[in-house]
Chain A
Amino acid sequence: MSAPVAAPPIAPPLTVALLGNPNTGKSTLFTGLSGVQTRIGNYAGCTVEKKVGRLSIQGRSVRLVDLPGTYSLAPRSPDEMLAVDVLLGRVADVGRPDVIVCIVDAANLERNLFLFTQLRELRIPIVLCLNMWDAVARHGQEINLAELSSRLGVQVVTTTAHHRVGLEELRGAILQAAGQPPADAPAILPEPVRAEADELARWLDGQGTATEGFLATRALLDVEGEAEQRLIHGGPRETAERLKGARTRLAEAGLRLAAVESISRYAWIRQQLDGVVRESAVPPRATTDRIDAVVTHWASGLLIFLAVMFLVFQAVYTAAQPLMSAVEGAQEAAAGVISSALAPGMLRSLLVDGIVAGVGSVLVFIPQIGLLFLFIALLEDCGYMARAAYLIDRLMLRLGLSGRSFLPLMSSFACAIPGIMATRAIENRRDRLTTMLVAPLMSCSARLPVYTMLIGAFVPAIALAGGWIPLQGLTLFAMYSLGAVVAVPIAWLLKKTVFRGPTPPFVMELPEYKWPSPWIVAQRVISQVRRFVEEAGTLIFFTTVLVWAAGYFPGDRSAVHDLDVRIERLEEESGEDDETLASLKEERNAMSAALTESSYLGRAGRAVEPVFTPLGWDWRIGVAVISSFPAREVVVASLGTIFSLGGDTEADDPSLASALQSATWPDGRPLFTLPVALSVMVFFALCAQCGATLMVIRRESGSWTWPVVTFVYMTALAWLAAWGTYALSSRLLG
Chain B
Amino acid sequence: MPPVTLDQLPVGAQGAILHVEGEDPLAVRLMEMGLIDGTPVKVLGAAPFGDPREYLVRGFRLSLRATEARRVSIQPT
Contacts and interface: CB of A to CB of B under 8 A. Distances in A.
B52 A390 contact: yes
B26 to A, nearest CB: 5
Contact of B47 (A258, A262, A391): A391
A715 B64 CA distance: 38
Interface stretch (A154-162, A505-513, A604-612): A505-513
Interface string A490-520: 0000000000000101111111000000000
A255 interface: no
Q: How large is the interface on A (under 10, 10 to 19, 20 to 34, 35 or more residues)?
A: 35 or more
Nearest to B64: A507
Contacts of A244: none
Given A110-B59, A506-B64, A510-B63, A258 B51 contact: no
Given A391-B48, A507-B26, A262 B54 contact: no
B47 A390 contact: yes
Contacts of A713: none
Contacts of A288: 61
Given A74-B28, A111-B34, A296-B45, A506 B23 contact: no
A72 B27 CA distance: 13
B62 interface: yes
A111 B60 contact: yes
A292 B62 contact: no
A508 to B, nearest CB: 5
Interface in A277-297: 284-285, 288, 292, 296-297
Contacts of A302: 48
Interface in B22-77: 22-23, 25-34, 36-37, 44-52, 54, 56, 58-65, 67-68
Contacts of B67: 503
Contacts of A393: 47, 51-52, 63, 65
A258 B61 contact: no
A511 B59 CA distance: 11
Given A76-B25, A394-B52, A507-B62, A114 B45 contact: no
Contacts of A301: 47-48
If over half of B's interface residues share one DSSP class (helix, strand or loop), that class is named, otherwise mixed; here it is mixed
B18 interface: no
A257 interface: yes
Given A74-B32, A111-B34, A266-B34, A390 B63 contact: yes
Contact of A394 (B25, B28, B30, B49): B49
B20 interface: yes
A71 interface: yes
Interface in A518-546: none
Interface in A646-696: none
A581 to B, nearest CB: 64
Contacts of A511: 61
Contact of B54 (A107, A223, A296, A298): A296
Nearest to A510: B61
B69 to A, nearest CB: 10
Contact of A111 (B33, B46, B52): B33
A302 B45 CA distance: 14
Contacts of A223: 23
A650 to B, nearest CB: 44
A266 B23 contact: no
A386 B54 CA distance: 12
A259 interface: yes
A114 B60 contact: no
Contacts of B27: 258
A222 B31 CA distance: 13
A488 interface: no
Contacts of A222: 28
Interface string A212-226: 000000000011000
Contacts of A108: 58-60
Contacts of B54: 292, 296, 390, 510
Contacts of A36: none
Contacts of B25: 76, 505
Contacts of A72: 29, 32
Contacts of B34: 110-111, 114, 262, 266
Instruction: Specify which of A262, A302, A503 lies most central, judged by the most chain B CB atoms within 10 Å of its CB.
Output: A262
B8 to A, nearest CB: 18
Contact of B31 (A107, A259, A292, A394): A259
B71 to A, nearest CB: 10
A263 interface: yes
A107 B27 CA distance: 26
A107 B47 contact: no
Contact of B29 (A107, A111, A391, A505): A505
Nearest to A23: B60
A263 B63 contact: no
A505 B32 contact: no
Nearest to A397: B65
Nearest to B48: A298
Given A505-B26, A509-B61, A296 B47 contact: yes
B63 A508 contact: yes
A36 B68 CA distance: 41
Contacts of A390: 47, 52, 54, 63
B59 A107 contact: yes
Given A257-B23, A298-B46, A505-B65, 4 more contacts: A114-B34, A391-B48, A505-B25, A509-B61
- List the 4 shortest-distance A-B pairs measured between CB atoms, nearest first: A262-B31, A510-B61, A258-B23, A394-B49
9 contacts: A74-B32, A114-B34, A259-B31, A262-B31, A262-B36, A263-B37, A298-B48, A390-B52, A506-B52
